[in-house]
Chains A and B, each alone.
Chain A
Amino acid sequence: MSVLWFTVGVFFTSILAGLLGALTGLGGGVVIIPVLCLLFKVDLHYAIGASLISVIATSSGAAAAYVREGYSNIRIGMFLEVATTAGALLGAYLTAKVSGNWIGVTFGIVLLYSAWTTLHKTLLRQISRSPHTWAIRLKLKGSYPVTGGKEDYVAEHISAGFWIMFVAGTLSGLLGIGSGAVKVLAMDQVMNLPYKVATTTSNFMIGVTAAASTGFYLSRGYILPGVAMPVMLGVLAGSLVGSRFLVITHVKVLRLIFSTVIVGLAVQMIYSGVTGRF
């Protein structure tokens, strides 16, 4: 395949991935990495590197809007970023050590999990314990705009949330995805933060987390300009269109299509990993 056709093909696939990622809230990385590997025959490490770049671009672009609206909590975000960036370093380190086949299988399993959560909104909200002394001491609280004023909230189950964030960071560094789903799970379900605060703060953290693993990838030479360029521009364009201009009425149908695509990709990734093709 010539460079021109490769670039054009990857660019348009990335637009589609960014579009789907924005509409379903899963991010473009989960789609673009398997497509790069399976369809365009790109080495898994290069695909992960390119995806990470697009993750930083989309999350920083989206986060800009939320900071202004006063939803994301900068203290909570910064506190948990200690866990996600440390995890990202571990994940990026593991990518260099572990064989591509293992990464492929892990990726497939995470894809299956993503498909599952897209279809079923899990509800394991924990029972709140009242006095949250540590949360108050660490100022892990805030207020956010609701219709007709502001509503206060305090974080709960801080150490559990912190450790899940570490895992989210590791997955992000290992697989090159934003792992926003895991971050939202930790903040919304475990730390009992309001959903809107959880999603926007997660978006805010994804960029910093991805920057930690990208630094590692860059210094090892995993970021290839020829691959990263069409992926970054495509995913960015797709997610901008997806989040701003499209109002989808049939979200359920879309979720179903997206989940089917993801399950297909997951099976392919696991199969390729088990048969040693990475």
Chain B
Amino acid sequence: MGQMLRVGVSTSALVVLAGGILYLQQSRNSIANYQRFNEVPAAYETVHGILVGVRHLDAQSLIGLGILLLIATPICRVIFGVVGFSLLRDRFYAVISAIVLIILLFSFSAGR
């Protein structure tokens, strides 16, 4: 399990780095303006938009993909927990892990 966490973090860091380099190449001279919060999320700020953008090699979507991989790492760990405790026939902790998993998955739809 420790191995999985490390692989997840390094893969996502590499994807974010690749996206970052591409991003700087494309828009290094534009003005960085993050002062005002934008109520309507841009395409690269949602899960669906990221997946669409990656196919067009959009730099910000690539960074977004790396971030998604990063978030997936702890989620995978909880899934491993559900499976692992079920195999151990530890019903209580299989249910506990499942509750944590449901809360995590719920959070992705909760914001809208």
Which A positions have Cβ atoms within 8 angstroms of B? Answer: 1-7, 40-43, 45-46, 53, 56-57, 60-61, 63-68, 74-75, 78-79, 81-82, 85-86, 88-89, 92-93, 96, 138-139, 207-208, 210-230, 232-233, 236
Contacts and interface: CB of A to CB of B under 8 A. Distances in A.
Interface in B56-89: 59-61, 63-64, 67, 70-71, 73-75, 77-78, 81
B34 A43 contact: yes
A225 B60 contact: yes
Contact of A232 (B27, B42, B70): B70
B28 A215 contact: no
Contacts of A43: 34-37
Given A63-B2, A219-B112, A221-B45, A1 B32 contact: yes
Given A53-B70, A63-B5, A216-B111, A3 B35 contact: no
B51 interface: no
Interface in B37-53: 37-38, 40-42, 44-47
Given A43-B37, A207-B73, A208-B104, A233 B20 contact: yes
B103 A86 contact: yes
Contacts of A211: 71, 74-75, 104, 107
Contacts of A40: 34
A213 B107 CA distance: 7
Q: Which are the 5 A-B pairs with shortest beta-carbon distances?
A: A221-B41, A215-B107, A219-B111, A6-B32, A220-B111
Nearest to A138: B92
Given A208-B104, A219-B47, A236-B13, A225 B67 contact: yes
Given A3-B29, A85-B100, A218 B46 contact: yes
A40 B112 CA distance: 28
A225 B64 contact: yes
A225 B44 contact: yes
Interface of B: 1-3, 5-6, 8-9, 12-13, 16-17, 19-20, 23-24, 27-32, 34-38, 40-42, 44-47, 59-61, 63-64, 67, 70-71, 73-75, 77-78, 81, 90, 92-93, 96-97, 99-100, 103-112
A138 B85 CA distance: 13
Nearest to B107: A215
Contact of A41 (B20, B35, B67, B93): B35
A268 to B, nearest CB: 17
Contacts of A226: 23, 32, 34, 60, 63
Contact of B108 (A219, A222, A236): A219
Nearest to A230: B20
19 contacts: A3-B29, A7-B28, A57-B12, A67-B1, A74-B81, A78-B96, A78-B97, A88-B107, A89-B107, A210-B74, A214-B107, A215-B110, A218-B67, A219-B108, A221-B41, A222-B45, A223-B67, A229-B20, A236-B9
Contacts of A74: 81
Contacts of B1: 67
